[in-house]
Chain A
Amino acid sequence: MKEYKEISVALTGNPNSGKTSLFNGLVGRYLKVGNWAGVTIEKYEGFLKYKGYKIKFVDLPGTYSLTAYSPEEVITRNYIIEEKPDIIVNVLDGANLERNLYLTTQLMELEVNSVIALNMYDEVKAQKIEIDFKQLEKLLGSHIVPTNSIKKEGFKSLLNHIIRVHSGSLTVAKNKLFFSGEVEKNIERLTDIIKCDQNLANKYHPRWLAIKLLESDQLTYAAAKERVIWLNIEKELLDIIGKYNDLFDSSPAIIIAEDRHSFIRGAVKETVQYPSEIKKTLTDHIDSVLINRVLGLPIFLCLMWLIFQFTFKLGEIPMFWIESFFSFLGKTVTNIVGQGLLQSVMVDGIIAGVGGVLVFLPNILLLFLALAFLEGTGYMARAAFVVDKVLHKVGLHGKSFIPMITGFGCSVPAFMSCRTLKNRADRITTMMIIPFMSCGAKLPVYILLIGAFFPIAYAGNILFAVYLFGIIVAILSAKFLKTVVFKGESEPFVMELPPYRMPTIKAVFIQMWIKAYMYIKKAGTIVLLASVIIWAACNFPVNREINKIHAERTHIVQYNQMLNDAQKEKQFIEFGRSDAHSAYYDTLQSLENIRLSKQLEYSFAGKTGKFIEPFIRPIGFDWRIGISLVAGLAAKEIVVATMGTIYSLGANDEGSSDLADKLRKDKKYDIATALSLMIFVLLYVPCLAATAVFHKEAGAWKWTGIYISYSITVAWVLSFAIYHISKLFSV
């Protein structure tokens, strides 16, 4: 075996600089996706063997800067400071150098070993931009390699540079970025103070720390505050910051930033030649149609409608296949092992559980395919631009729109798509209100209840009203959460609208696959477990008595049938025989249904239903609805099936007219109950699959706790109101 020498490389760069393409192109299939500790930002790692080296790459999140405000920035700088990768590859969008170099100046301050990948070099050439590489290298103190990540051009050269910079056979003098007179003096003085503390100076580059402190960077403050030397530092800092405030009505932070920008402007002026005439780009033309003041909104709504249709209508087909496959599998297993507990565990527990996870997969694949495509083209940022005003009014972000729309189909992919929201408050708030967007699985419940209690003529309007009600609750909740729970936290909308590009098919599919994989890996295990638990709750403890009575009754029926058959055979009556037989099977089936109903009543779920009856009586429900609501935690459509079981109708399919009949005739139920139940099902905790995904995405028990108690409270209060108001009207 060959010994490989290891080099660790971290990729940094602005969003849309082509960093992901570069990373994927370099490591190919040796890609591992995880999460950065504590945040829902994906961590990509991979490696590559080249010339006797094993080069390990980590793709740091895309950032414009290294402040301490966004988690992406914090991850990036902590990784650089704490993990100390051997080489930093700074990916630049060569066609957009000025903005991209801002991050570079901050990497210079960290004095790390770096190689610059000047990406999108094809565009640089196409736009006839000329760059004096030698001079720019000198100014930035780093080697520059032109690359084209789509065509994988410049990769070899980049790798060679990495190896040679690492081994020290290739060097450029690091260039220090000097700040304007006064600031530079302040930095030096602070640096001297910091150097007195050996430990601090070893951990952080002293000059960098000094700059960050002057920038009032919260994280470095926290780190420095732990040291004795802080007393000296603080005195100096307060002095300096006070002076800037008084004299220049400014702050060192702003002056430092301005200096970085003037350095960049100077460097670019010296080394980059732009063509004298700047033509209108393709992006200008597309935007003047796609987001203009008249067409912007209609086009946006059309696209959202298309995504929705694509995800859920097209998704229905493979969903149907998956469902059929699992029901076929269930039947096969039943045939092999026969009726009984083992069959029930395997079919109703495990197969139904796995099926319940996989059935969402088509939706997830299609939704993320569509989203990856829109993101890849650059339209996503524009979509947020178009609707931000509306959402900002209720405290949300333009990007909250897509998760909300998706929520009408299914909360699971909706929660997952919240990752595009970078700010924690925006993301969690959006996630909290998604369940109020009535998902597809709740529809059968509405259909059943509307069918049972309302005249056909009103059906459509009532259904619409239920959906609308959900939206209103969502909006009010967002407003409430944003003003009470997340006071003032909100992501600024200072956002790049990247140039339109055609994403490569490969990149889109990789993104889609990563999401699907995460879903299967994470939700899969929990959802499966949860389904088995709910199954067990509905089936245990077993009541022997019920089974015994059932066995006796069945026996009698079977015995009678035998006698019947014997008689008929004697009389050679062929006619009506099949009739008699189907009546016989019906009797057996209804006995079995009675057994199931009694057993369900006896089970944990049944007991829970009865236990919660006092709590749900004020909103018009009895224990039978209680059981259905408990079982409905597994999946909302199960509410209907469970009611069927309780009414001894067998596990009924959606909107069955038998069940509707029974409900209508039941004296305990009326229109008020129906309305209250619809509202409750609309608002109470979504299914376990969704809750599991919520928990994973929110990342803390605290949020999951708030989410569950909030939705149940809202559901209860509003159902209570609706129930009593409609009672008033129906007298």
Chain B
Amino acid sequence: MLDFLAEAGEYLPFLLRGALVTIELSLVAMLFGTVTGFFIALGRRARTRLLRWPLNAFVEIMRDTPLIVQLLIIYFTLPRWGLTLGAFPAAILGLSLNLAAYVSEVFRSTINAVDRGQREAAISLGMSGVQLYRRVIMPQAGLAALPILGGYFIALLKDCALVSFISVNELLRNASIVISDTFDGGNIYLLVAIIYFIMSFASSRLILHLENRLAHNRRSGPDRMSGTVPTMEKEAVR
């Protein structure tokens, strides 16, 4: 036990620097992946097959091959075709595209789930397509997607360990470096697991908190702006 603590104290800063890279990767990939995934979902609803077909194929391929293979191809195979990326950009690209495929499926179903009657109501008020999306579809489809996207973020945080294979110095790879220095894997891996757990657990609490707040804002109803109704009543009478 004392051994473990001593070891932890010695290597912790180095491991935490790796953890920071893991968090960085997750946040950036989450952002790119969500935005790209949203636009893929829109493209897959387009009327022209020219847009729908390649996007469907993309999503299918990303979901039917392992992420690790995708990362290896981006980092090791693309250079042969003239596209050389550094380890970190390659990792971001791979993680984002993979996530985007899954996210596009999420948005596809939450967009489809928005009440048809409400779409028709918006259209019959004279809204344009963009206004319909901005004002009616996205607020509802986005809120419905949030818990699922939260779950994907936790998964992403842990999937980032895979990019150690393409030499990004994130948490797991820093651990491997420590181990090849000390020739003792046992305790370091335990430490790595603890750090992952703390990161995931904190994220899931944070996401839950965010969801509750959004749900609460929407539900708080008449109390939220109490006081405004009487003044409006006066204005209306005038």
Q: Does B associate with A?
A: no
